[in-house]
Amino acid sequence: MRYERSDLMIGTVQEGLQALVDGRHGDPFSILGRHQYGDLVVVRVLLPGAIGVQVIEAETGRPLAELDSIHEGGLFAGVTGSTAPYFYRITWPDAVQETEDPYCFGPLLGDLDLHLIGQGTHYDLGRTLGAIPMEVDGVPGVRFAVWAPNARRVSVVGDFNAWDGRRHPMRLRQQAGIWELFIPRLTHGERYKFELIDAHGTVLAQKADPIARASEAAPSTASIVASSRPFRWNDDEWMRSHRDVRSGEKAISVYEVHLGSWVRIPEESNRSLDWVELSQRLVPYVKSLGFTHIEMLPIMEHPFGGSWGYQPLGLFAPTGRYGTPEDFAYFVDRCHQAEIGVILDWVPAHFPTDVWGLAQFDGTALYEHADPREGFHKDWNTLIYNLGRNEVKGFLIASALEWLEHYHVDALRVDAVASMLYRDYSREAGEWIPNQFGGRENLESVEFFKHLNSIVHERCPHAFTVAEESTAWPGVTKPPEEGGLGFDFKWNMGWMHDTLHYMSDDPVFRKYHHGGLTFGMIYAYSERFMLPISHDEVVHGKGSLLGKMPGDAWQKLANLRAYFGFMWGHPGKKLLFMGCELGQQTEWNHDGSVIWDLLDQPGHAGVQRLIRDLNSLYNNEPALQFSDLHPEGFEWAVADDAENSVYGMLRSSQDRSSRMLVISNMTPVPRQSYRIGVPSEGRWEVVLNTDAEIYGGSNFGQTEVWSETQPAHGKPHSISLMIPPLATVFLKWRG
């Protein structure tokens, strides 16, 4: 039976058909797909460039209809006479394709999902929005969903439709501003983006998926459909047994690394290692040095390598620079099997302005503040997340949980916290907007951090959070219920600046700045601190850590060893950036590599060996762990000898059964018969001396000393010690 053209266009208007063909129709499901009008069953499909289309009954494979071209823009329609499941057989100029109709499927996301997304409390966005391989009504394919409430039309584009925004326009779920579409027969590995038309009718630059779980490596910018197949983890024991790390009672010693410049392969165009190679080389190396954790500069997908990852756009996607998401999971698994925790730097403060990213995502300031006084970072030329918007808060918290839950990451170090806490951060008068009470505090960020840390602690018992916060904001590591922000640890930036400034002085002048090494203990227990010697201290013209040390080549290495000894002897968790453990002579270059040839030189190999032994001592001595967080485990043995630049720290375990005396001499003058008061009589064994020959030192000093009943420094007993030049000595009480 032949049908009239008017039968094929029933239920439509010419303007709607034209808008559909032009790629500007906001409700494609009202026209496309199968529609029943009384006894008439009409099927319509938009396939620009197709030569012909047949409708095939899915169960029997028999043709139901040959569709007519009803618009030169590629719109086909026909009457099937059947409501049975069907698929299309499409004839293209160079191929024949068979696929189900995307527009025969009903709404995909449930009302609860939409409600939670709108409330900002849907914490599994990585499995709800974005691109999810799945079966719908027994048909395999990929469900796409994206938040764009102010767009007039959103389409999925990719290799599968020649990046043509007319081919796959999406359905709008009005109550949450979510657009969704199931495209049959697609699978993981497909490249895609979203094409949006804003409220004014302007076609925007094609956008990468904000929730993409995989992305092309820069400079390419497409999102990739990630596999939904669960990774086979082998770290059950680790996940169970490391739930007490958050307490801070154990040693935490962190090796910070920029993966792209840790090792490069000169013979292969100077490429970086991939995740599998890193699991084979980085993990054993970190294990051999005794670090408890690897901290990686942000590995979330980012467009510009020179940002080191601190301007990410793919907050759910491990960067494609080092391999697939499955490869990253394998790396984490190998770390855990080697009993090494994984910390990721994570950036909720800001994002870059690239047109294919989050900026003006649906033609409006969706993720960012509209007012540049709130929404633009002049320092970094980046946009600031609008934390006053529920969906944005939910997006960021879901990102954090993606790494902690789905990738088993052990901790997040939150970058640039200070920039988020203060509305006038790096702004002059008139360049910022006060809060509702007229103050400079960013109340939305405060609430965000409290919420973030509460959720992480509730859902991820194995995980902890660290704040990079450079001001004296109170209660960064106090629980939210006590008025704090809820972080588990805070980088002690003040300690880092003070001690490095002191060490850069010529030893002749250090006596005038004696407080540079003691001041940190005045506030050491006001927060739960980590002592960071990070990438920021060895880049941008600051020189290397070794380069900061005064003196000739021998004295530079001796100063560095003494400083490391002081750092490991000082209360606080430890963090050291890659290359510093070798005494690298040049500052970090993200396009280069750690200068591993330095290990051929005994002095530099000695520094590496010292770091290994310091970590071993820290990992095995309760006295060096308990007083990280408990002031009753620390006291100064010598704090006021500015003339000789000598420092003494006495550290004890909770039950006092383990005691460690840490003595530092920050001058090149050896100290003979230096008397130091001690709380207990008996033998004190030298368990580490940074001046030992095995580290490249002069081997000055003793192996043990016995206490005498001669009071000193307010103690009933004392020892007479030979203190090496430019060295730190650890003495363990043997009773």
Active site residue ranges: 415, 468
Under DSSP, the state recorded for 173 is E
Measured CA distances, 680 to 387, 541, 577, 706, 715 (Å):
55, 48, 37, 10, 9
Bridge pairing between strands 271-272 and 264-265:
antiparallel
- Separation of alpha carbons 30 and 20, rounded Å: 10
Closest CA to 387 of 421, 425, 418, 427: 421
Please state, in angstroms and rounded to a whole number, the distance separating the CA atoms of residues 94 and 316.
Answer: 37
Whether 42 and 78 have beta carbons less than 8 Å apart is answered as yes
52-57: strand order across its sheet: 63-66, 52-57, 86-92, 95-99
User: How far, in Å, CA of 173 to CA of 154, rounded?
Assistant: 12
Q: Is residue 509 classed as helix, strand or coil in its secondary structure?
A: helix
Residues forming a β-bridge with 87:
56
CA distance 393 to 117: 10
The alpha-carbon radius of gyration of the chain (Å, integer) is 31
Nearest to 629 by CA among 55, 246, 115: 246
Residue 633 phi/psi, 5-degree rounding, is -95, 5
State whether residue 288 is helix, strand or coil: helix
Torsional sign, CA 490, 427, 310, 400: positive
For the packed helices 443-459 and 390-401, what is the interaxial angle rounded to 10 degrees? 40
Sequence-ordered list of residues with C-beta below 8 angstroms from that of 501, at least 6 positions apart, any chain: 513, 516
Distances from the Cα of 524 to the Cα of 142, 225, 250, 465, 531, angstroms: 52, 47, 17, 19, 10
CA distance 691 to 601: 17
Asked if 184 and 99 count as a contact pair (C-beta separation under 8 A), the reply is: yes
Q: What angle do CA 90, 94, 96 make, to 5 degrees?
A: 30
Contact 704, 686 (CB under 8 A): yes
- The three-state secondary structure class of 46 is strand
Spell out the alpha helix ranges (H) of 510-588: 515-518, 553-569
Q: How many Cβ atoms sit within 10 Å of the Cβ of residue 727?
A: 28
Q: How far is CA 442 from CA 35, 446, 553, in A?
A: 52, 6, 48
